[in-house]
């Protein structure tokens, strides 16, 4: 039994991991989360009081971080500014949290000798051509496109440097695009689902040919727990579930699963610098650590996710109007 500190545990993927740990291990969990617009305390409801503690605070607050590190066995670091579109309009919070925040955690890990796992994204590798059969591996050179992905790339490089220079006990994972319950309505899949529920036509950037490699958030969580338990210190592991789909296919599938005409959506101006294709080769994680994804049927996972958004309007409705007003102000 161990005591884990999970940063960003009130966000989409962090909260999924907290529930996964409570359900599948004997560990106790402390969440450190600033509760930005993206954090939602309601995503952590129902956890047992004797195994779960919530601390509201900033990962860049060195005194608070130091205090929390003194009391835990390992740290799983999810906290980040995570939305590409926001990073194009105001990059500053991305530098503060993704770079300075990660630096603050690494310094605490160094002082306390704490094991830390850093969560990152495949977007650090830039993009692949649509007709390129290649997939990202742990050896692919970093080539980030947006302020979001460049700050995530910077945070990964800090982790690597702190391992090499100071012997920090860290691992890194870079995962592909996640879907599932509790994802903020600003993101592509929940935005389209909640638009259909509200009677708004879904919006597709450009021609919708951009390909994302979808993985269910539950599979991301099981992969992270596997790396935390069995990963080799200093190593990077790519996480993916062979879920490549272009955005047009996803929006049409959402419409069909929700009983609508699959053509009932609008094209809007493309995102600046929009990455074409992401694709993950997760052989290292599968062969070295024996991990396998559980959700292999994207359509079934998407149908479950749609059902969750239909049943949990109280969770997403408070953020919906402001999110759509923001997109409308950008013509998207
Ligand atoms: N969503 C994806 O598809 C995806 C894919 C691969 C990797 N990731 C990575 O996974 C992590 C979590 O992503 P997500 O989609 O759950 O993001 P999210 O935006 O849903 O959640 C981020 C959480 O971090 C918290 N946070 C932000 N700044 C903070 C700070 N300074 N101090 C403390 N807490 C802070 C927020 O309140 C929120 O609860 C990120 O590191 C992201 O880069 C996400």
Q: What residues are in contact with ligand 1 under a 6 Å CB criterion?
A: 7-8, 10-14, 32-36, 38-39, 58-60, 78-82, 97, 101, 119, 121, 152, 175, 177-178, 184
Give me the pLDDT at residue 72, please.
Answer: 98
235 is catalytic: no
The confidence score (pLDDT) of residue 328 equals 85
Q: pLDDT exceeding 90 applies to what percent of the chain?
A: 92
Q: Which of 93-102, 243-252, 270-279 comes out lowest in average pLDDT?
A: 270-279
pLDDT-derived band at 223, boundaries 50, 70, 90: very high
* Closest residue to atom 11 of ligand 1, CA basis: 78
Pick from 297, 299, 303, 301: nearest CA to 258 = 303
**Strand 115-121 to 236-239 pairing:** unpaired
CA-nearest residue, atom 32 of ligand 1: 58
How confident is the model over 133-189, as pLDDT tens digits?
999 999 999 999 999 999 999 999 999 999 999 999 999 999 999 999 999 999 999
**290 domain residue, yes or no:** no
Report in angstroms the alpha-carbon separations of 163 from 107, 232, 237, 280: 11, 12, 15, 24
Pocket test for ligand 1, best of 15, 56, 80, 104 (most atoms within 8 A of CB): 80
Q: Is 265 a catalytic residue?
A: no
CATH code of the domain covering residue 124: 3.40.50.720
Question: Which of 78, 103, 148, 237 is an active site residue?
Answer: 148
- pLDDT range class, residue 329, cuts 50, 70, 90: confident
When divided into structural domains, the chain yields a total of 1
Q: Answer yes or no: is 319 within a domain.
A: no
Whose CA is closest to atom 25 on ligand 1? 8
Domain membership of residue 198 (yes or no) is no
Question: If you average pLDDT over every residue of the chain, what do you get?
Answer: 96
Angle at 265 between CA 132 and CA 258, to 5 degrees: 95
Q: Is residue 268 part of a domain?
A: no
The answer to whether position 299 is within a domain reads: no
Structural domain of 48: 3-178+214-239
Q: Do 189 and 257 form a contact (C-beta atoms < 8 A)?
A: no
78 is catalytic: no
């Amino acid at each position: 039994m161990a005591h884990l500190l999970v940063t960003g545990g009130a966000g989409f993927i962090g909260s999924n991991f907290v529930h996964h740990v409570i359900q599948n291990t004997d560990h106790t969990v402390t969440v450190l989360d600033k509760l930005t617009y993206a954090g939602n305390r309601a995503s952590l409801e129902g956890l047992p009081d004797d195994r779960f503690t919530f601390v509201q605070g900033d990962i860049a607050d060195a005194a608070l971080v130091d205090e929390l590190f003194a009391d835990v066995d390992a740290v799983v670091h999810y906290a980040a500014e995570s939305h590409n579109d926001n990073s194009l309009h105001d990059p500053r919070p991305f530098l503060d949290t993704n770079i300075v925040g990660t630096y603050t955690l690494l310094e605490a890990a160094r002082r306390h000798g704490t094991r830390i796992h850093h969560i990152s994204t495949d977007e650090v590798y830039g993009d692949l051509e649509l007709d390129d059969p290649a997939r990202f591996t742990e050896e692919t050179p970093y080539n980030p496109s947006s302020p979001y992905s460049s700050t995530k790339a910077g945070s990964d490089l800090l982790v690597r440097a702190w391992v090499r220079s100071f012997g920090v006990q860290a691992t890194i994972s870079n995962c592909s695009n996640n879907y599932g319950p509790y994802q903020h309505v600003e993101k592509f899949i929940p935005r389209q689902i909640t638009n259909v529920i509200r009677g708004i036509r879904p919006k597709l950037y450009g021609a919708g040919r951009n390909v994302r490699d979808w993985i269910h958030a539950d599979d991301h969580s099981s992969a992270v727990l596997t790396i935390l338990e069995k990963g080799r210190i200093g190593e990077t592991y790519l996480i993916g579930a062979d879920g490549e789909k272009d955005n047009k296919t996803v929006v049409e599938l959402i419409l069909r699963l929700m009983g609508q005409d699959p053509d009932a959506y609008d094209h809007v101006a493309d995102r600046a610098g929009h990455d074409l294709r992401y694709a993950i080769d997760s052989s290292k994680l599968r062969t070295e650590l024996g991990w396998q994804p559980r959700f292999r049927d994207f359509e079934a996972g998407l149908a479950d996710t749609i059902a969750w958004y239909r049943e949990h309007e109280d969770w997403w409705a408070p953020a919906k109007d402001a999110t759509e007003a923001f997109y409308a102000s950008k013509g998207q």
